[in-house]
Structure 1
Amino acid sequence: MNVVEAVKTEGEAEVIARKLTKNARGNPLYADIWRFGVNTALRISDLLSLTFEDVAGDKLVIKESKTGKTRQIDLNSSAKRVVAERRQAHPDHTFLFQVDSNRSKGKAVSRVAVAGAFKAVGDELGIQLSTHSMRKTRGWLMYSGGVSIEKICRVLNHSSPAVTMAYIGLTQAEVDATYHEFVF
């Protein structure tokens, strides 16, 4: 099984968004998916099924396809900006992340296409990037910003803080460093 990485800084997350747009020849679709995904911490299957109707207000209520649990997500300014820009650019679309190709007209972008775009950027940057990196990045950025593991666990809808710690990639080296950071 391949190890998928979290992006460790907001600056690196922005570099990925810019490269996704550049690699798509100026089409912001994959960068918008990245930004919205990092801001909402949704799994790719739930993210790609969103319609404009789902994201019409300030809150998104979704029943997760993997867990069957209902989540309520307060859309932040960045997520709302993605929605507004996509709605303005594609007023006739049903899905938030819809493709316009003749073969897939009227359908949401495929998970395979998103995975390919993310992998290409990851290869370019030398990191293991996949569709799951958005959730991991959200968790890591929250953790490095001082948010408690318990709260991150709740945001990611994990069953325990231990799952969250493994999920975001808290390494032994980072644990070891705390012995030198906090000396009494």
Structure 2
Amino acid sequence: MNFVQPIRDPECIFYIKRFLKEQSERNYMLFVTGINSGLRISDILELRVRDAKRPYFNLIEKKTKKKKRIDMTPALQRELKAYIEGKEDEDHEYLFKSREGINKPISRSMAYKILRAAAEYVGLDDIGTHTLRKTFGYHFYRQTKDVAMLQEIFNHSDQRTTLRYIGINQDAMNNAMKKFKI
């Protein structure tokens, strides 16, 4: 299994959003939902139209089987509201529907392909579906410096795990190496 990184550069995020929006609204919203919620891809793909109508996500995490409520950012609420416009009578429909079959979500591998294409467009390596969650965590931490809150959001057992997970430790090592001289 490859180790994936968060997308640290806001400019890359901007260009990925633009690239995905030109592809399809679904692909764009998949990315926006991931980087603004901190949810795992397995939980994002299970979201339905009815889930986008509330200002929070109420779900049982697939991985941990724990019940979780995550408030949406105002920006994500606005984006989802626009995305589901005209789908008011389709509460049971998946938010990120596959073109295959009737009312099936896209697969995890399709989500990966979508993200890889966007990453390739902006010249990023070490990108996968988990990048969405890590990107959320990285920017949440940079904005709030609240590792305890992020640890709680991610359901991690300790803060060191959270910092390593979002790449903050890697940033510190990279910066230290740049300053090192003999």
**Shorter-chain TM-score tier:** 0.7 to 0.9
Task: Check the 8 A contact 1:121/1:129 in 2, yes or no.
Answer: no
1:130, CA displacement in angstroms? 1.2
Matches within 5 A, 1:37-52: 37-52=34-49
Task: Check the 8 A contact 1:150/1:161 in 2, yes or no.
Answer: yes
* DSSP-derived class of the 2:70 partner: strand
Matches within 5 A, 1:66-85: 66-85=63-82
* Other-structure match for 1:9: 9
Q: Does 1:164 align with 2:158?
A: no
- More displaced stretch, 32-41 vs 77-86: 77-86
- More displaced stretch, 49-58 vs 34-43: 49-58
Task: Check the 8 A contact 1:49/1:95 in 2, yes or no.
Answer: yes
Task: Check the 8 A contact 2:116/2:128 in 1, yes or no.
Answer: yes
* Other-structure match for 1:97: 96
Q: For the residues of structure 2 that align with 1:71 and 1:134, how far apart are their CA atoms?
A: 18
Aligned pair in 2 of structure 1 residues 95, 177: CA closer, same or farther (>3 Å)? same
Q: For the residues of structure 2 that align with 1:37 and 1:165, how far apart are their CA atoms?
A: 19
Task: Check the 8 A contact 1:10/1:141 in 2, yes or no.
Answer: no
1:167, CA displacement in angstroms? 0.6
Task: Check the 8 A contact 1:17/1:31 in 2, yes or no.
Answer: yes
Select the structure that is richer in helix. 2
1:54, CA displacement in angstroms? 2.3
| Equivalent residue letter for 1:132 | H
Q: Does 1:60 align with 2:57?
A: yes
Per the normalisation by structure 2, the TM-score is: 0.85
Of 139, 146, 149, 2:147 maps to 149
Of 26, 29, 37, 1:29 maps to 26
1:104, CA displacement in angstroms? 2.5
**What is the percent sequence identity of the aligned residues?**
27
CA RMSD of aligned residues (A): 2.4
Q: Unmatched 5+ residue regions in structure 2?
A: 177-182
1:92, CA displacement in angstroms? 5.6
How many equivalent pairs are there? 176
Per the normalisation by structure 1, the TM-score is: 0.84
* DSSP-derived class of the 1:55 partner: helix
* Other-structure match for 2:19: 19
* Other-structure match for 1:181: none
Q: For the residues of structure 1 that align with 2:53 and 2:170, how far apart are their CA atoms?
A: 42
Aligned pair in 2 of structure 1 residues 55, 90: CA closer, same or farther (>3 Å)? closer
* DSSP-derived class of the 1:145 partner: helix
Q: For the residues of structure 1 that align with 2:170 and 2:77, how far apart are their CA atoms?
A: 37
1:59, CA displacement in angstroms? 1.9
Task: Check the 8 A contact 1:21/1:30 in 2, yes or no.
Answer: yes
| Equivalent residue letter for 2:5 | E
| Equivalent residue letter for 1:45 | S
